[in-house]
A and B are shown apart, each in its own frame.
Chain A
Amino acid sequence: MSFFLTLLIAFPLLAGLAVMVFSSPDDGDFPRWGALVAAVVNTCASLGLLSGALAGEHGWLLRSFEEKRAWVEAFGIHYWLRVDGFSTFLILLTTVATSVAVAASWNSVKSRAHIYFGSILVLSGAMIGVLASADLFLFYVFWEIMLLPALFLLGIFGGSLRRDALYKFVIYTMVGSLLMLVGVVFLGAQHLAARGTWDFGFDALYGLPLSPGAASWAFLAFVAAFAIKAALFPFHTWLPTAYSQAPMPVTFLLSAVMAKLGVYGLLRIAMPMFPDAAQTAAPYLAALAVAGVIYAAFAALAQDDAKLLVAYASVSHLGVILLGAFSFSQQAVVGTVFHLIGHAVTTGALFLLVGFMAERRGSTLISDWGGAARVMPVFATFFMLMMLAAVGLPGLSAFVGEFLILFGAFRDYAVLAALAATSIILGAAYMLWWYQRTMFGAVTQPEVARLKDLTLREGALLLPIMLAVIGLGVYPQPVVSAITPASVQYLARFGVEPDKSPTASPKNLEPLRHQSREHAHQEPVTSH
Chain B
Amino acid sequence: MLTYAPLFPVILLTLVALVAMLMSALVRDASRTGVFSAVGLLFVMALSLQQWGTQQGPANILGNAVTVDGYSYFFYVLFCLIGIVTVFIAMPHLEREQAQRGEFYTLMLFSLVGMFVMVSSDDLMTLFLGFETMSLAIYVLVGWRRHQLRSNEGVLKYFFLGSLAAAIFLYGIALIYGSAGTVNLQSVAALLTAPGSALGVNGVFTVGVLLVLVGVGFKIAAVPFHMWTPDVYEGAPAPVTAFMATAVKAAGFALGIRLIAFLFEHQQLHDIAHIILFYGAILTMFVGNFFALAQKNFKRMLAYSGIAHTGYLLVGMLALPEAGAGTAVLYYLVAYALTNLGALAVAAFISGREEKFDNLEDFSGMAWRYPLAGICMAVCMFSLIGFPLTAGFFGKYMLFAAAFKANLAPLVVIAIVNSILSVYYYLRVVVVMFVEPVAENAAAPETMPLATKAVLAYTVAAVVWSGVGTFNVTPFFPGLVPLRAKAEASMKALTAIPQARVSTGTVEGKSSAPLQANAPLIH
Contacts and interface: CB of A to CB of B under 8 A. Distances in A.
A and B touch in the complex (CB under 8 A): yes
Interface in B421-450: 423-424, 427, 431, 434-435
B44 to A, nearest CB: 29
Given A77-B469, A175-B420, A185 B401 contact: yes
Given A140-B388, A170-B423, A182 B413 contact: yes
A16 B389 CA distance: 17
A22 to B, nearest CB: 12
B405 A189 contact: yes
A140 B397 CA distance: 12
A144 interface: yes
B404 interface: yes
Contacts of A174: 385, 420, 423, 427
B257 to A, nearest CB: 20
Interface string A212-234: 00100000000000000000000
Contacts of B370: none
A144 B387 contact: yes
Given A155-B434, A185-B404, A178 B389 contact: no
Contact of B404 (A140, A143, A170, A186): A186
Interface string B392-420: 01001100110011000100110010011
B416 A188 contact: no
B469 A179 contact: no
Contacts of B397: 181, 185
Interface string A171-214: 10011001101100110110010000000000000000000001
B401 A75 contact: yes
Contacts of B427: 167, 170, 174
A448 to B, nearest CB: 34
B368 interface: yes
Which of the listed residues A152, A170, A181 has the most CB atoms from chain B within 10 Å of its own CB? A181
A141 B413 CA distance: 20
A468 B139 CA distance: 69
Contacts of B387: 144, 147-148
B54 interface: no
Contacts of B420: 174-175, 178
B471 interface: yes
Interface residues of B, number: 31
Q: Is the interface of B mostly helix, strand, loop or mixed?
A: helix
B434 A141 contact: no
Contact of B389 (A72, A141, A167, A189): A141
A181 B431 contact: no
A140 to B, nearest CB: 6
A433 interface: no
B506 interface: no
A178 B469 contact: no
A152 B388 CA distance: 17
Nearest to B413: A182
B401 A189 contact: yes
A182 B397 CA distance: 9
B3 interface: no
A170 to B, nearest CB: 6
B470 A178 contact: no
A166 B388 contact: no
A72 B401 contact: no
Contact of B416 (A112, A163, A167, A178): A178
A366 to B, nearest CB: 29
A166 B416 contact: no
B419 A214 contact: no
A441 interface: no
Contacts of B470: 71
Contacts of B424: 171
On chain A, which size bracket covers the interface?
A: 35 or more
A18 interface: no
A393 interface: no
B404 A141 contact: no
Nearest to A152: B434
Contacts, number: 72
A24 to B, nearest CB: 11
A162 interface: yes
A144 B412 CA distance: 20
B165 to A, nearest CB: 34
Contacts of B488: 74
B416 A144 contact: no
Which of the listed residues B388, B397, B405, B419 has the most CB atoms from chain A within 10 Å of its own CB? B388
Nearest to B418: A178
A496 to B, nearest CB: 31
A214 B388 contact: no
A174 B472 CA distance: 30
Contact of A145 (B388, B404, B409, B423): B388
Interface in B281-335: none
Interface in A115-171: 140-141, 143-145, 147-148, 152, 155-156, 162-163, 166-167, 170-171
A172 to B, nearest CB: 11
Contacts of A185: 397, 400-401, 404, 412
Contacts of B413: 182
A210 to B, nearest CB: 13
Interface string B95-111: 00000000000000000
Contacts of A156: 434-435
Contacts of A170: 423, 427
Interface string A33-52: 00000000000000000000
Contacts of B401: 75, 185, 188-189
Contacts of B389: 141, 144-145
B127 to A, nearest CB: 31
A464 interface: no
A304 B469 CA distance: 49
B363 to A, nearest CB: 15
A141 B515 CA distance: 42
A182 B469 CA distance: 19
Interface in A347-376: none
Nearest to A71: B469
B511 to A, nearest CB: 32
B435 A189 contact: no
Contact of B388 (A73, A141, A155): A141
Nearest to A21: B371
Nearest to B387: A144
Interface in A48-83: 71-75, 77
Given A156-B434, A214-B409, A189 B404 contact: yes
Interface string B379-390: 000100111110
A511 interface: no
Interface string B445-477: 000000000000000000000000111100000
B431 A179 contact: no
Contacts of B385: 174
A25 interface: yes
B431 A182 contact: no
Interface in B351-393: 368, 382, 385-389, 393
A187 B287 CA distance: 30
A25 B435 CA distance: 15
A521 B368 CA distance: 82
Contacts of B396: 181
Given A77-B469, A178-B419, A181-B416, A144 B388 contact: yes
Interface of B: 368, 382, 385-389, 393, 396-397, 400-401, 404-405, 409, 412-413, 416, 419-420, 423-424, 427, 431, 434-435, 469-472, 488
12 contacts: A73-B472, A141-B388, A143-B388, A144-B393, A152-B434, A166-B431, A174-B420, A174-B423, A178-B386, A178-B420, A185-B400, A189-B401
Given A112-B368, A152-B434, A174-B385, 17 more contacts: A75-B401, A77-B469, A140-B388, A141-B388, A156-B435, A163-B431, A174-B420, A178-B419, A178-B420, A182-B400, A182-B412, A182-B413, A182-B416, A185-B400, A185-B412, A189-B401, A214-B409
Q: Which 4 A-B pairs have the closest CB atoms?
A: A141-B388, A144-B388, A189-B404, A174-B423
